[in-house]
């Protein structure tokens, strides 16, 4: 009787169900979940990329967004903390901090992208030619880089901005000139690494010209670490622009910038700390995101280079 019952139960389990081992194997374990969700990649790549993409989007579309004029005064709502009407609050003149933060991104991103582009073109030209041709040209370029890096950067920047004037064009040009030596050093070091590789030697043996070797063989490999370094420089230039604006040497008023907004709120930190803290937080998250993206890209480039 008991044997018949056990056989019937076994038959039901085999015909209508799955073994418990099969069911447990179908469920994702902790290791599988970690593989599916790489939290390190989320925090090092996707969240910073999302923040940067959002800042770029709002900066480009700021004139077309349904937000207040960043320079519109409302003397009845001075230094109001964040609320439903003003998401980031207002400053001491009643101007909307949310609108000013978005329009401030336009200045920071304009300077942050164009200044490294200027430095990249000039610095990579000097660095690649110095690392490829060597000789006296390399000596001259190395001397220029060492002298430029030895001179205090902030002093040089203040000198250039004071001499040229504090307009957006002059500020961008000054920051571009300041970062040329950094690009020159990075591109020269990368060129020295690739100049003696087999594919470069093969091109020389086949009679390729120097221009062709530089453009076709060396430049694509040199630009990879340079692009990763660019993310870090963008973050640095955004900070430098904020420092100059904080010192009233940035873009002239009434154009808003994160640095000038921080400076405007320093006199009322006790009563309205949001006036300084909110643009400081936006700048901090932007700089942190660019640094994380640059670090992630650099690690991937190093892995790729090691596998060559």
Distances (CA, A) of 6 to 1, 18, 236: 9, 17, 75
- DSSP type of residue 252: P
* pLDDT, tens digit (0-9, with 9 covering 90-100), for 9-52: 444 444 444 454 444 444 455 555 455 556 677 777 889 999 99
Distances (CA, A) of 56 to 231, 242, 251: 14, 17, 19
Collapsing DSSP to helix, strand or coil, 192 comes out as helix
Lowest mean pLDDT among 81-95, 133-147, 152-166, 226-240: 152-166
CA distance between the termini of the chain = 72
Which token pair is 306? Answer: 């090691």
Domains and CATH numbers, the chain: 68-74+86-307 (1.10.3720.10)
Which pTM value belongs to this model?
Answer: 0.79
Q: Are 89 and 275 in contact (CB under 8 A)?
A: yes
- Rounded to whole angstroms, how far apart are CA atoms 222 and 305? 11
- Rounded to whole angstroms, how far apart are CA atoms 62 and 50? 18
Sorting pLDDT into bands at 50, 70 and 90, what band is 305? low
């Amino acid at each position: 009787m008991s044997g018949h019952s056990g056989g019937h139960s076994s038959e039901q389990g085999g015909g209508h169900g799955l073994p418990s081992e099969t069911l447990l194997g179908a469920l994702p374990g902790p290791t599988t979940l970690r593989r599916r969700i790489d939290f390190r990649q989320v925090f090092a790549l996707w969240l910073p990329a999302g923040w940067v993409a959002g800042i770029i989007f709002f900066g480009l579309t700021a004139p077309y967004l349904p937000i207040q004029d960043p320079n519109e005064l409302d003397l009845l709502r001075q230094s109001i903390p964040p609320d439903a009407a003003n998401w980031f609050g207002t400053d001491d003149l009643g101007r909307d901090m949310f609108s000013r933060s978005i329009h401030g991104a336009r200045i920071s991103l304009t300077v942050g992208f164009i200044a490294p582009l200027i430095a990249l073109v000039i610095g990579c030209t000097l660095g690649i030619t110095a690392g490829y041709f060597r000789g006296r040209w390399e000596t001259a370029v190395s001397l220029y880089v060492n002298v430029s890096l030895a001179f205090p950067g902030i002093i040089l920047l203040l000198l250039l901005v004071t001499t040229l004037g504090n307009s957006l064009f002059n500020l961008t040009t000054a920051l571009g000139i300041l970062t040329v030596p950094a690009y020159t050093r990075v591109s020269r070091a990368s060129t020295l690494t690739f100049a003696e590789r087999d594919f470069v030697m093969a091109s020389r043996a086949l009679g390729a010209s120097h221009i062709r070797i530089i453009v076709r063989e060396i430049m694509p490999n040199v630009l990879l670490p340079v692009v990763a370094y660019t993310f870090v420089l963008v973050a640095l230039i955004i900070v430098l622009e904020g420092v100059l604006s904080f010192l009233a040497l940035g873009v002239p008023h009434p154009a808003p910038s994160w640095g000038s907004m921080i400076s405007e709120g320093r006199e009322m930190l006790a009563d309205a700390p949001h006036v300084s803290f909110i643009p400081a937080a936006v700048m901090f998250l932007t700089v942190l995101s660019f640094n994380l993206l640059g670090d992630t890209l650099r690690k991937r480039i190093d892995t790729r280079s090691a596998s060559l």
